[in-house]
Chains A and B, each alone.
Chain A
Amino acid sequence: MPVPCRTGCGNNAVLKRPKTGDALCKECFYWAFETEIHYTITKGELFNKGDSVAIAASGGKDSTVLAYILKTLNTRYDYGLNLMLLSIDEGITGYRDDSLETVKQNRDDYEMPLKILSYKDLYGWTMDEIVAQIGRKNNCTFCGVFRRQALDRGAALLDVKCIATGHNADDIAETVLMNVLRGDIARLKRCTAISTGSEGTIPRVKPLKYTYEKEIVMYAHYKKLVYFSTECVFAPNAYRGHARALLKDMERIRPTCIMDIIYSGETMSVKEQVSLPSQRICSRCNFVSSQEVCKACVLLEGLNKGLPKLGIGKTSKAKKMLEAYNARQMQENSLEQATDLEDTSKSIKDNIKDASNKCNSKNCCSGKCKSDASKQQNGNAKINKLLEQYGLDESPSSQKLNGDLSDDECSGGCGNSSSMPIGF
Chain B
Amino acid sequence: MICKKCNNDESTVLLRKKDYYCEKCFINNTNHKFRACIGKNKLFSSQENVLVCLSGEEGSTVLLNLISNGLCLENHKKLRINPIFLHLYNNNDIAEKVIEDCKKHDFVVYVVNISDYMSTTIDLPEPNSLPKLNVGTNNTVNIFNNLPATAFNDMFIKIKRTLFIKYAKVLHCNFIFTAETTGSLASSLLSSIALGRGSQVEDDIGFIDNRDDIKIVRPMKDISKEELHFYIKIKKLNIQHHYDMKKNSLQVLINNFVSDLQENFPSTISTVCKTAEKLGVASDNADNESNHKCKICESVLNIPDGRLTALQATDFSRIVSLQKPSKINTHDKNVIKIVQENQHSMFPYISAAKCVKKKGEGVMKIGAVTEDASQNGMPYYDDPKRLGKGEKRQQS
Contacting B272 at CB < 8 Å: which of A21, A183, A273? Answer: A183
- Map CB proximity to A onto B109-148 as digits: 1 under 8 Å, 0 otherwise: 0000000000000000000000000000000000000001
> Nearest Cβ in chain B — how far from A424, in angstroms?
19
**Bound form: Cα–Cα A44–B336 in Å:** 11
> Nearest Cβ in chain A — how far from B273, in angstroms?
9
Q: Determine if A274 is an interface residue (Cβ-Cβ < 8 Å).
A: yes
A interface residues, tally (CB under 8 Å): 64
* Residues of chain A within 8 A of B309, CB atoms compared: 263, 266-267
Number of A-B contacts (CB under 8 A): 208
- Stretch binding the partner chain, chosen from A4-12, A355-363, A373-381: A4-12
- Stretch binding the partner chain, chosen from B172-180, B191-199, B208-216: B191-199
Q: Determine if A198 is an interface residue (Cβ-Cβ < 8 Å).
A: no
* Residues of chain A within 8 A of B281, CB atoms compared: 267-269
Please tell me if the beta carbons of A264 and B320 are within 8 angstroms of each other in the complex: no
Please tell me if the beta carbons of A36 and B194 are within 8 angstroms of each other in the complex: no
* Residues of chain B within 8 A of A255, CB atoms compared: 387-388, 391-392
**Bound form: Cα–Cα A2–B173 in Å:** 61
Q: Which of B290-344 contact A (CB under 8 A)?
A: 300, 303, 307-314, 316-318, 320-326, 330-331, 333, 335-336, 339
* Residues of chain B within 8 A of A31, CB atoms compared: 320, 325, 330
Please tell me if the beta carbons of A254 and B310 are within 8 angstroms of each other in the complex: no
**Bound form: Cα–Cα A177–B275 in Å:** 12
* Residues of chain A within 8 A of B189, CB atoms compared: 180
**Bound form: Cα–Cα A127–B254 in Å:** 36
Please tell me if the beta carbons of B388 and A259 are within 8 angstroms of each other in the complex: no
Q: Determine if B44 is an interface residue (Cβ-Cβ < 8 Å).
A: no
Please tell me if the beta carbons of A36 and B391 are within 8 angstroms of each other in the complex: no
Please tell me if the beta carbons of A40 and B321 are within 8 angstroms of each other in the complex: no
> Nearest Cβ in chain B — how far from A244, in angstroms?
12
Please tell me if the beta carbons of B312 and A43 are within 8 angstroms of each other in the complex: yes
Q: Determine if B39 is an interface residue (Cβ-Cβ < 8 Å).
A: no
Which of A6, A22, A24 has the largest number of chain B CB atoms within 10 A?
A22
**Bound form: Cα–Cα A180–B283 in Å:** 20
Contacting A260 at CB < 8 Å: which of B194, B280, B336? Answer: B194
Please tell me if the beta carbons of A253 and B389 are within 8 angstroms of each other in the complex: no
> Nearest Cβ in chain B — how far from A243, in angstroms?
10
In the complex, which residue of chain A has the Cβ closest to the Cβ of B194? A257
Please tell me if the beta carbons of B272 and A270 are within 8 angstroms of each other in the complex: no
* Residues of chain B within 8 A of A20, CB atoms compared: 317-318, 321, 379, 386, 388-389
Q: Determine if B249 is an interface residue (Cβ-Cβ < 8 Å).
A: yes
Give the size category of B's interface with A: 35 or more
Please tell me if the beta carbons of A40 and B313 are within 8 angstroms of each other in the complex: yes
* Residues of chain B within 8 A of A259, CB atoms compared: 196, 310-311, 313-314
Q: Determine if A372 is an interface residue (Cβ-Cβ < 8 Å).
A: no
Q: Determine if A181 is an interface residue (Cβ-Cβ < 8 Å).
A: yes
Contacting B317 at CB < 8 Å: which of A32, A181, A185, A273? Answer: A32
Q: Determine if A78 is an interface residue (Cβ-Cβ < 8 Å).
A: yes
Q: Determine if A343 is an interface residue (Cβ-Cβ < 8 Å).
A: no
* Residues of chain A within 8 A of B198, CB atoms compared: 261, 263-268
* Residues of chain A within 8 A of B308, CB atoms compared: 40, 43-44, 194
In the complex, which residue of chain A has the Cβ closest to the Cβ of B271? A183
Contacting A35 at CB < 8 Å: which of B271, B320, B326, B388? Answer: B320
With A22-B322, A28-B324 as given contacts, are A268 and B335 in contact (CB-CB < 8 Å)?
A: no
**Bound form: Cα–Cα A76–B323 in Å:** 18
In the complex, which residue of chain A has the Cβ closest to the Cβ of B248? A253
Please tell me if the beta carbons of B388 and A18 are within 8 angstroms of each other in the complex: yes
Please tell me if the beta carbons of B391 and A254 are within 8 angstroms of each other in the complex: yes
* Residues of chain A within 8 A of B148, CB atoms compared: 254
In the complex, which residue of chain B has the Cβ closest to the Cβ of A28? B325
With A19-B317, A261-B194, A267-B282 as given contacts, are A39 and B392 in contact (CB-CB < 8 Å)?
A: no
Q: Determine if B150 is an interface residue (Cβ-Cβ < 8 Å).
A: yes
In the complex, which residue of chain B has the Cβ closest to the Cβ of A258? B310
Which of B253, B280, B324 has the largest number of chain A CB atoms within 10 A?
B324
Q: Determine if B201 is an interface residue (Cβ-Cβ < 8 Å).
A: yes
In the complex, which residue of chain A has the Cβ closest to the Cβ of B149? A253
**Bound form: Cα–Cα A181–B193 in Å:** 12
Q: Determine if A176 is an interface residue (Cβ-Cβ < 8 Å).
A: yes
Contacting A185 at CB < 8 Å: which of B261, B275, B312? Answer: B275
In the complex, which residue of chain A has the Cβ closest to the Cβ of B253? A249
In the complex, which residue of chain B has the Cβ closest to the Cβ of A264? B198
> Nearest Cβ in chain A — how far from B189, in angstroms?
7
Please tell me if the beta carbons of B389 and A264 are within 8 angstroms of each other in the complex: no
Query: Shortest 6 CB-CB distances between A and B: which pairs?
Result: A264-B198, A21-B388, A260-B196, A21-B387, A254-B391, A269-B282
A residues sitting closer than 8 Å to B (CB atoms) are 6-9, 16-22, 24, 27-28, 31-32, 35-36, 38-40, 42-44, 76-78, 176-177, 180-183, 185, 188, 194, 209-210, 238, 242, 246, 249-250, 252-257, 259-271, 273-274
Sample of 12 more A-B contacts, CB < 8 Å, known A36-B313, A270-B278: A16-B387, A20-B321, A22-B322, A35-B330, A43-B308, A180-B189, A183-B275, A185-B275, A238-B265, A253-B253, A262-B310, A268-B198
15 pairs across A/B with beta carbons < 8 Å? Answer: A21-B387, A36-B316, A36-B320, A78-B333, A182-B268, A183-B271, A185-B279, A249-B257, A250-B254, A263-B196, A264-B193, A266-B309, A268-B280, A268-B281, A268-B282
